[in-house]
A = this chain, B = another copy of it.
Amino acid sequence: MAKGKAESVSELVSPLPRYLEIQRDLQARIASGQWIPGSRVPAEHELQAQYHCSRMTVNKALSALAKAGLIIRRRRSGSFVAMPRSQETILNIQDIKAEILAKGKAYRFEILTRQERAMTTDDALQLRVTPGGRVLALSVRHFANEHPFVVEDRLMNLAIVPAAREERFVVSPPGTWLLDVVPWTNAEHVIQAELADQRIATLLGIPKKSACLAIERRTWQGDATITWVRLTYPGDRHQLTSHFRPGGPLIP
Protein backbone atom coordinates (compact mmCIF):
# COMPACT_ATOMS: atom_id res chain seq x y z
CA MET A 1 0.00 0.00 0.00
CA ALA A 2 2.44 2.62 -1.15
CA LYS A 3 -0.17 4.81 -2.71
CA GLY A 4 -0.85 8.27 -1.30
CA LYS A 5 -4.60 8.00 -1.14
CA ALA A 6 -7.39 5.53 -0.79
CA GLU A 7 -7.96 3.09 -3.60
CA SER A 8 -11.71 2.69 -3.24
CA VAL A 9 -14.18 4.24 -5.63
CA SER A 10 -16.04 5.63 -2.63
CA GLU A 11 -13.50 8.40 -2.75
CA LEU A 12 -15.43 9.83 -5.65
CA VAL A 13 -18.68 10.12 -3.75
CA SER A 14 -17.12 11.15 -0.46
CA PRO A 15 -14.38 13.74 -0.84
CA LEU A 16 -13.81 13.55 2.89
CA PRO A 17 -10.31 13.00 4.21
CA ARG A 18 -9.78 9.62 5.71
CA TYR A 19 -8.98 10.81 9.21
CA LEU A 20 -12.14 12.95 9.30
CA GLU A 21 -14.20 10.00 8.17
CA ILE A 22 -12.84 7.97 11.05
CA GLN A 23 -13.21 10.86 13.47
CA ARG A 24 -16.87 11.38 12.59
CA ASP A 25 -17.58 7.72 12.71
CA LEU A 26 -16.17 7.36 16.20
CA GLN A 27 -17.84 10.57 17.30
CA ALA A 28 -21.19 9.30 16.08
CA ARG A 29 -20.80 6.11 18.08
CA ILE A 30 -20.01 8.09 21.19
CA ALA A 31 -22.79 10.62 20.70
CA SER A 32 -25.38 7.96 19.97
CA GLY A 33 -24.57 6.18 23.19
CA GLN A 34 -23.43 3.08 21.35
CA TRP A 35 -20.17 3.50 23.23
CA ILE A 36 -21.08 4.58 26.70
CA PRO A 37 -18.83 6.76 28.85
CA GLY A 38 -16.04 4.75 30.41
CA SER A 39 -16.02 2.08 27.75
CA ARG A 40 -12.92 1.35 25.82
CA VAL A 41 -12.23 2.56 22.32
CA PRO A 42 -10.45 0.08 20.05
CA ALA A 43 -6.69 0.50 20.03
CA GLU A 44 -4.99 2.28 17.19
CA HIS A 45 -3.78 -0.88 15.53
CA GLU A 46 -7.29 -2.33 15.63
CA LEU A 47 -8.82 0.73 14.04
CA GLN A 48 -6.00 0.74 11.53
CA ALA A 49 -7.05 -2.72 10.44
CA GLN A 50 -10.76 -1.85 10.54
CA TYR A 51 -10.45 1.28 8.45
CA HIS A 52 -7.67 -0.08 6.32
CA CYS A 53 -5.25 2.77 6.75
CA SER A 54 -2.02 3.61 8.52
CA ARG A 55 -1.71 4.14 12.24
CA MET A 56 -0.84 7.81 11.78
CA THR A 57 -4.20 8.42 10.18
CA VAL A 58 -6.02 6.74 13.02
CA ASN A 59 -3.83 8.63 15.46
CA LYS A 60 -4.82 11.94 13.93
CA ALA A 61 -8.49 11.15 14.38
CA LEU A 62 -8.09 9.91 17.94
CA SER A 63 -5.86 12.81 18.94
CA ALA A 64 -8.47 15.25 17.71
CA LEU A 65 -11.17 13.51 19.71
CA ALA A 66 -8.92 13.55 22.77
CA LYS A 67 -8.19 17.24 22.34
CA ALA A 68 -11.90 17.88 22.06
CA GLY A 69 -12.43 16.03 25.31
CA LEU A 70 -14.57 13.24 23.90
CA ILE A 71 -12.12 10.54 24.80
CA ILE A 72 -9.29 10.17 27.28
CA ARG A 73 -6.09 8.49 26.20
CA ARG A 74 -3.57 6.82 28.46
CA ARG A 75 -0.43 5.06 27.41
CA ARG A 76 -0.48 1.35 27.77
CA SER A 77 -4.09 1.48 29.02
CA GLY A 78 -5.81 2.61 25.87
CA SER A 79 -8.47 5.15 24.94
CA PHE A 80 -11.74 5.52 26.79
CA VAL A 81 -14.93 7.43 26.18
CA ALA A 82 -14.92 10.44 28.49
CA MET A 83 -17.63 11.21 30.97
CA PRO A 84 -19.89 14.10 29.92
CA ARG A 85 -18.06 17.27 30.69
CA SER A 86 -19.24 20.22 32.66
CA GLN A 87 -21.54 22.26 30.53
CA GLU A 88 -19.23 24.58 28.72
CA THR A 89 -20.60 26.90 26.16
CA ILE A 90 -18.98 29.22 23.73
CA LEU A 91 -20.38 32.68 24.02
CA ASN A 92 -19.79 34.83 21.01
CA ILE A 93 -19.64 38.35 22.30
CA GLN A 94 -19.20 40.21 19.10
CA ASP A 95 -18.02 43.62 18.30
CA ILE A 96 -21.10 45.83 18.66
CA LYS A 97 -20.92 47.36 15.24
CA ALA A 98 -20.69 43.92 13.64
CA GLU A 99 -23.44 42.59 15.87
CA ILE A 100 -25.91 45.25 14.84
CA LEU A 101 -25.01 45.13 11.17
CA ALA A 102 -25.36 41.36 11.26
CA LYS A 103 -28.96 41.80 12.32
CA GLY A 104 -29.56 43.84 9.20
CA LYS A 105 -30.08 47.04 11.12
CA ALA A 106 -28.61 50.46 10.55
CA TYR A 107 -25.73 51.23 12.87
CA ARG A 108 -24.83 54.57 14.40
CA PHE A 109 -22.97 55.64 17.52
CA GLU A 110 -22.30 58.82 19.40
CA ILE A 111 -19.54 59.73 21.82
CA LEU A 112 -21.28 61.03 24.94
CA THR A 113 -18.21 61.98 26.98
CA ARG A 114 -14.50 61.85 26.38
CA GLN A 115 -11.91 62.68 28.97
CA GLU A 116 -8.18 62.18 29.07
CA ARG A 117 -6.93 62.21 32.63
CA ALA A 118 -4.33 60.99 35.07
CA MET A 119 -5.29 57.55 36.30
CA THR A 120 -7.46 57.78 39.40
CA THR A 121 -7.55 55.14 42.11
CA ASP A 122 -10.85 53.90 40.74
CA ASP A 123 -9.44 53.70 37.23
CA ALA A 124 -6.50 51.66 38.48
CA LEU A 125 -8.90 49.34 40.26
CA GLN A 126 -11.02 48.80 37.17
CA LEU A 127 -7.97 48.25 35.00
CA ARG A 128 -6.36 46.15 37.72
CA VAL A 129 -3.05 47.94 37.35
CA THR A 130 -0.89 49.91 39.76
CA PRO A 131 -1.85 53.59 39.63
CA GLY A 132 0.17 55.94 37.49
CA GLY A 133 0.05 56.99 33.87
CA ARG A 134 -2.90 58.37 31.97
CA VAL A 135 -6.19 56.94 30.80
CA LEU A 136 -8.84 57.85 28.27
CA ALA A 137 -12.37 57.60 29.62
CA LEU A 138 -15.17 57.32 27.08
CA SER A 139 -18.92 56.96 27.15
CA VAL A 140 -20.56 55.85 23.95
CA ARG A 141 -24.14 55.18 22.94
CA HIS A 142 -24.81 52.72 20.13
CA PHE A 143 -27.97 52.77 18.04
CA ALA A 144 -29.68 50.06 16.00
CA ASN A 145 -32.11 51.54 13.51
CA GLU A 146 -31.93 54.78 15.51
CA HIS A 147 -33.05 53.04 18.69
CA PRO A 148 -30.66 53.09 21.66
CA PHE A 149 -29.07 49.64 21.77
CA VAL A 150 -26.36 49.68 24.39
CA VAL A 151 -24.40 52.11 26.53
CA GLU A 152 -20.65 51.65 26.61
CA ASP A 153 -18.41 52.98 29.39
CA ARG A 154 -14.76 52.45 28.66
CA LEU A 155 -11.33 53.09 30.07
CA MET A 156 -8.32 52.84 27.81
CA ASN A 157 -4.81 52.53 29.18
CA LEU A 158 -2.86 55.19 27.31
CA ALA A 159 0.43 53.61 28.34
CA ILE A 160 -0.44 50.68 26.10
CA VAL A 161 -2.52 52.45 23.47
CA PRO A 162 -0.98 55.91 23.09
CA ALA A 163 -2.50 56.23 19.64
CA ALA A 164 -5.93 56.59 21.23
CA ARG A 165 -5.02 60.08 22.42
CA GLU A 166 -5.12 61.37 18.84
CA GLU A 167 -8.05 59.25 17.72
CA ARG A 168 -11.37 61.10 17.38
CA PHE A 169 -13.48 57.94 16.82
CA VAL A 170 -15.40 59.34 13.91
CA VAL A 171 -15.67 56.33 11.60
CA SER A 172 -15.32 53.48 14.08
CA PRO A 173 -16.43 53.29 17.70
CA PRO A 174 -13.68 52.71 20.28
CA GLY A 175 -14.27 48.97 20.56
CA THR A 176 -14.00 48.35 16.85
CA TRP A 177 -11.04 50.70 16.56
CA LEU A 178 -9.20 48.88 19.33
CA LEU A 179 -9.79 45.49 17.75
CA ASP A 180 -8.22 46.78 14.55
CA VAL A 181 -5.28 48.51 16.19
CA VAL A 182 -4.14 46.52 19.20
CA PRO A 183 -3.49 42.79 19.26
CA TRP A 184 -4.82 41.34 22.49
CA THR A 185 -3.92 38.11 24.14
CA ASN A 186 -6.32 37.69 27.00
CA ALA A 187 -9.79 38.76 28.01
CA GLU A 188 -12.09 38.36 30.96
CA HIS A 189 -15.85 38.73 30.97
CA VAL A 190 -18.27 39.28 33.80
CA ILE A 191 -21.99 39.10 33.12
CA GLN A 192 -24.50 40.46 35.60
CA ALA A 193 -28.09 41.51 35.88
CA GLU A 194 -28.88 44.86 37.46
CA LEU A 195 -31.44 47.61 37.65
CA ALA A 196 -31.23 50.65 35.40
CA ASP A 197 -30.22 53.80 37.25
CA GLN A 198 -31.40 57.20 36.12
CA ARG A 199 -28.55 57.75 33.67
CA ILE A 200 -28.86 54.36 31.97
CA ALA A 201 -32.65 54.64 31.86
CA THR A 202 -32.45 57.99 30.12
CA LEU A 203 -29.76 56.93 27.69
CA LEU A 204 -31.48 53.69 26.73
CA GLY A 205 -34.97 55.14 26.78
CA ILE A 206 -36.28 52.61 29.26
CA PRO A 207 -38.02 53.01 32.65
CA LYS A 208 -35.84 53.50 35.68
CA LYS A 209 -35.29 50.29 37.67
CA SER A 210 -35.94 48.02 34.73
CA ALA A 211 -33.71 45.00 34.29
CA CYS A 212 -30.43 45.43 32.45
CA LEU A 213 -27.80 42.99 31.30
CA ALA A 214 -24.33 44.29 32.09
CA ILE A 215 -21.25 42.81 30.47
CA GLU A 216 -17.87 43.89 31.73
CA ARG A 217 -14.76 43.04 29.82
CA ARG A 218 -11.10 43.51 30.59
CA THR A 219 -8.64 42.97 27.77
CA TRP A 220 -4.92 42.37 28.16
CA GLN A 221 -1.87 42.29 26.01
CA GLY A 222 0.39 40.00 27.96
CA ASP A 223 0.39 41.37 31.48
CA ALA A 224 -0.70 44.86 30.55
CA THR A 225 -4.36 45.80 30.67
CA ILE A 226 -5.40 47.46 27.46
CA THR A 227 -8.95 48.43 28.26
CA TRP A 228 -11.89 47.94 30.55
CA VAL A 229 -15.38 48.26 29.19
CA ARG A 230 -18.87 47.95 30.57
CA LEU A 231 -21.76 47.36 28.20
CA THR A 232 -25.26 47.92 29.54
CA TYR A 233 -28.11 46.44 27.51
CA PRO A 234 -31.84 46.66 28.11
CA GLY A 235 -32.58 43.31 29.72
CA ASP A 236 -35.84 42.65 27.95
CA ARG A 237 -34.60 43.50 24.51
CA HIS A 238 -31.23 41.80 24.55
CA GLN A 239 -30.14 38.27 25.22
CA LEU A 240 -26.97 36.29 24.83
CA THR A 241 -27.35 33.02 23.03
CA SER A 242 -24.95 30.26 22.32
CA HIS A 243 -24.87 26.77 20.98
CA PHE A 244 -22.64 23.99 22.00
CA ARG A 245 -21.66 20.68 20.59
CA PRO A 246 -19.45 18.62 22.83
CA GLY A 247 -16.18 18.15 21.06
CA GLY A 248 -16.44 21.59 19.59
CA PRO A 249 -16.63 22.31 15.88
CA LEU A 250 -15.47 18.88 14.87
CA ILE A 251 -18.08 18.81 12.15
CA PRO A 252 -17.94 22.30 10.68
Residues of A bordering B, CB below 8 Å: 30-33, 36-37, 84, 86-95, 98, 179-180, 183-195, 209-214, 217, 221-222, 233, 235-236, 238-246
The smallest C-beta distance from A173 to any residue of chain B, in angstroms, reads: 14
Q: Contact between B92 and A88 (Cβ–Cβ < 8 Å)?
A: yes
Q: Which residue of B lies closest to A219 (CB)?
A: B87
Residues on B with C-beta less than 8 A from A209 are 209
B88 and A90 contact, CB distance less than 8 A: yes
Which 7 A-B pairs give the minimum distances between C-beta atoms? A193-B235, A193-B193, A193-B213, A191-B240, A193-B211, A31-B185, A192-B239
Q: CB distance B94 to A86 under 8 Å?
A: yes
Given contacts A36-B183, A84-B183, A194-B235, 4 further A-B contacts (CB under 8 A): A86-B94, A88-B93, A186-B243, A189-B241
The oligomer's copy count stands at 2
Find chain B residues with CB under 8 A from A246 CB. 184-185
Q: Is the CB of B222 within 8 A of A235?
A: no
In the complex, 25 of the A-B residue pairs with CB atoms within 8 angstroms, ordered by the A residue number, are A30-B183, A32-B222, A86-B94, A87-B92, A87-B94, A89-B91, A89-B92, A89-B93, A89-B187, A90-B90, A91-B189, A91-B242, A186-B244, A187-B244, A188-B243, A191-B213, A191-B240, A191-B241, A192-B213, A193-B194, A193-B214, A194-B236, A195-B211, A209-B209, A211-B211
